[in-house]
Amino acid sequence: VLITDIDDALGKGVVERITKAGGKAHYQRHDVRDEAAWPGVVADAEKRFGRLDIMVANAGIGVMAPIETMTLADWQRQQAINLDGVFLSIKHSIPAMRRAGGGSIVLMSSIAGLRGAPGLAAYSATKGAVSALTRALAVEYAPFGIRVNTVAPGFVETALTGRVLRNPAIAKALVDQAALKRLGTPEEIAAAVLFLASDDASYVTG
């Protein structure tokens, strides 16, 4: 696995855990908005591991604010990371997957992109766009054996949602509206991503 992030300590920590578990991993610092860096990231994966089979686009941010008070800078920052970053990851990964004879792309959307969320209009817009992009690319690249899927989590206990969940009223409302009456865990989302990335999902795309 090639891990990329802008948080060096976190990225290297993930590599260490993978290595201790007997896997192979390498960390590379990478801002997904930087198109000039993308060819090098993909080339590094091919050089280290021989081919690129799977690409998971997981970088994302959310700025919680009413649309009428949100700054254009905050709107554009979310678009740049949540949507431009996804576009660039796909654009530069697909040629390597075509060289490999196929592959699996897994993108991260959100329940907010499916039904919206108050205070998260800009975030919802980016995630809805990711879902639409997935459907188009699944059809476009199926002839090349490249599957494209999206995971759209509900509220999960992560650093991204931590600020929201510190408000007891909001946390209770989120739990109450969940069918299972609890929040999700990162491990549960990772399991869904792993399934879509694997050959067990060889007939799943779009």
DSSP track, 134-148: HHHHHHHHGGGTEEE
141 is catalytic: no
**Whole-angstrom distance, CA of residue 150 vs CA of residue 168:** 30
Handedness of CA 157, 162, 168, 170 (dihedral sign): negative
Would strands 2-5 and 103-108 be described as parallel, antiparallel, or unpaired? unpaired
**Whole-angstrom distance, CA of residue 37 vs CA of residue 196:** 26
User: Which of these is catalytic: 27, 123, 141, 203?
Assistant: 123
| Catalytic residue IDs | 123
